[in-house]
Amino acid sequence: MIKKLVLGSLVFASSIFAANEVNIYSHRHYDTDKQLFKMFEEKTGIKVNVVKAKASALIKRIESEGKKSPADVLITVDAGRLFQAKEKDLLQSIESPYLAKNIPANLRDTDNKWFALTKRSRVAVYKIGSGIENELSTYEDLADPKFKGKIMVRSSSNIYNQSLLAAMIAHHGEEKALEWAKGVVANMAKDPKGNDRYQVKAVANGIGSIAIANTYYIGKMVNNKDVSQAQAVKKVKILFPKFENGGTHINVSGAGVAKYAPNKANAIKFIEFLAGPDAQKLFAEGNFEYPVLAGVKASDLVSSWGTFKDDTISINTLGENNAKAVKIFDLAGWK
Ligand SMILES: [Fe+2]
């Protein structure tokens, strides 16, 4: 059985350091993951212990635990955080012929300290009937004054937005990225508040006409038992913007082996399992993400949204430009 350990009250007594287990610090906040951990336990007999918290809290925790940290694997939902963990020297390089062969080079760390497990794109969600699809085709367009009062987007403290701006910096430089951020702020329908689903619901209900959101949230809103989500999502459609000189912004969730992992071999096995065909299929079907493993298809629902070309910049760049992005958001007054 998966043992869920609550942050703050976790004590990995030495007695539970049985040889056959793996300790996961995860920021993935999705139900499919529970299923995945169970599948791994059944397949390998290795017990999975999970600490779930925000990536920033997990990173702080690994840092303060130091050499005694029980963490074997850190899982986060954004490349920026994986990069941060690497910068703080909390992850170790691993040798995995399977991961080296199957995770594309632009979706893993240059030193093999982390690997992407899923992709998600950050897209424009517009109200059906608004005509937005004829007016918007690029991320740069979002700053066009013609969209004044039309954009719903969450706060700049959110890492998904920071990574989008980091990509903008990679494409156009800091000065233009600042101009862009100012333009988007000027176009906001409301001050930033709420999560991605909140923005989608607002647009469905006539507040603004373009919501910026990660793709998988749309999948999760369809048939949601929260009727307000299920109804809202019927009123909107996804549009995949691209950068003027690139493709559609993608981000990743991914994992790395902790520097002092007490169960290193199990940790590698675990990440290999998550990058394997069974887990990749579940990520795709159950959480509406794009698999990173070639040959595994997106779910039918996700495929129905259409196709796009991934942006070409390396996922590493999102982390490298994170600090600049945070600064530019401040300068632009993006709350
Ligand atoms: Fe998310």
- How do residues 198-211 score in pLDDT, each as one tens digit? 999 999 999 999 99
Ligand 1: centre distance to CA 231 (Å): 20
Which pLDDT value is given to residue 197? 97
Ligand 1: centre distance to CA 286 (Å): 14
Do 112 and 133 sit in the same domain of this protein? no
Do 21 and 79 sit in the same domain of this protein? yes
Domain count, the chain: 2
Ligand 1: centre distance to CA 77 (Å): 7
Ligand 1: centre distance to CA 295 (Å): 24
- For the cut 60, the answer to whether the pLDDT of residue 12 exceeds it is no
The answer to whether residue 25 sits within a structural domain is: yes
Expressed as residue numbers, the domain containing 101 is 3-119+252-296
Ligand 1: centre distance to CA 11 (Å): 28
Least confident of 25-39, 51-65, 221-235: 25-39
Do 230 and 327 sit in the same domain of this protein? yes
Do 156 and 238 sit in the same domain of this protein? yes
The answer to whether residue 303 sits within a structural domain is: no
Residue range 215-228, pLDDT digits in tens: 999 999 998 999 99
Across the range 144-167, mean pLDDT stands at 97
Ligand 1: centre distance to CA 162 (Å): 13
The answer to whether residue 227 sits within a structural domain is: yes
Task: Count how many residues are written for the chain.
Answer: 335
Most confident of 18-22, 274-278, 314-318: 274-278
- For the cut 50, the answer to whether the pLDDT of residue 7 exceeds it is no
- Nearest partner of 73 among 275, 319, 271, judged by Cα: 271
Ligand 1: centre distance to CA 107 (Å): 18
The answer to whether residue 301 sits within a structural domain is: no
CA distance 16 to 37: 18
Taking the model in full, what pTM does it have? 0.90
Which pLDDT value is given to residue 9? 42
Which pLDDT value is given to residue 14? 41
Do 144 and 185 sit in the same domain of this protein? yes
Do 173 and 90 sit in the same domain of this protein? no
Write phi, then psi, for 247 (nearest 5 degrees). -115, -155
Ligand 1: centre distance to CA 89 (Å): 25
- Report percent pLDDT > 90 for the chain: 90
The answer to whether residue 256 sits within a structural domain is: yes
Do 173 and 322 sit in the same domain of this protein? yes
CATH of the domain at 125: 3.40.190.10
Ligand 1: centre distance to CA 14 (Å): 34
- For the cut 90, the answer to whether the pLDDT of residue 30 exceeds it is no
CA distance 21 to 72: 10
Confidence of residue 312 (pLDDT cuts 50, 70, 90): confident
Which pLDDT value is given to residue 31? 82
Ligand 1: centre distance to CA 157 (Å): 14
Which pLDDT value is given to residue 223? 86
Q: Which residues, at least 6 apart from 1, have a Cβ–Cβ distance to it below 8 Å?
A: 41
Ligand 1: centre distance to CA 98 (Å): 27
Do 72 and 199 sit in the same domain of this protein? no
Ligand 1: centre distance to CA 247 (Å): 21
Ligand 1: centre distance to CA 309 (Å): 21
The packing angle between helices 159-172 and 322-332, to 10°, is: 100
Do 148 and 243 sit in the same domain of this protein? yes
Across the range 116-145, mean pLDDT stands at 97
CA distance 120 to 249: 9
Do 313 and 178 sit in the same domain of this protein? yes
241 three-class SS: coil
Which pLDDT value is given to residue 13? 42
- Report percent pLDDT > 70 for the chain: 94
Do 38 and 162 sit in the same domain of this protein? no
The answer to whether residue 302 sits within a structural domain is: no
Confidence of residue 18 (pLDDT cuts 50, 70, 90): low
- For the cut 90, the answer to whether the pLDDT of residue 248 exceeds it is yes
Across the range 83-99, mean pLDDT stands at 97
The answer to whether residue 187 sits within a structural domain is: yes
Ligand 1: centre distance to CA 17 (Å): 31
Do 155 and 243 sit in the same domain of this protein? yes
Ligand 1: centre distance to CA 102 (Å): 24
Across the range 51-58, mean pLDDT stands at 94
- For the cut 50, the answer to whether the pLDDT of residue 15 exceeds it is no
Confidence of residue 28 (pLDDT cuts 50, 70, 90): confident
Q: Which residue has the tokens 């990574």?
A: 163
Ligand 1: centre distance to CA 321 (Å): 20
The answer to whether residue 221 sits within a structural domain is: yes
Ligand 1: centre distance to CA 267 (Å): 23
Ligand 1: centre distance to CA 137 (Å): 24
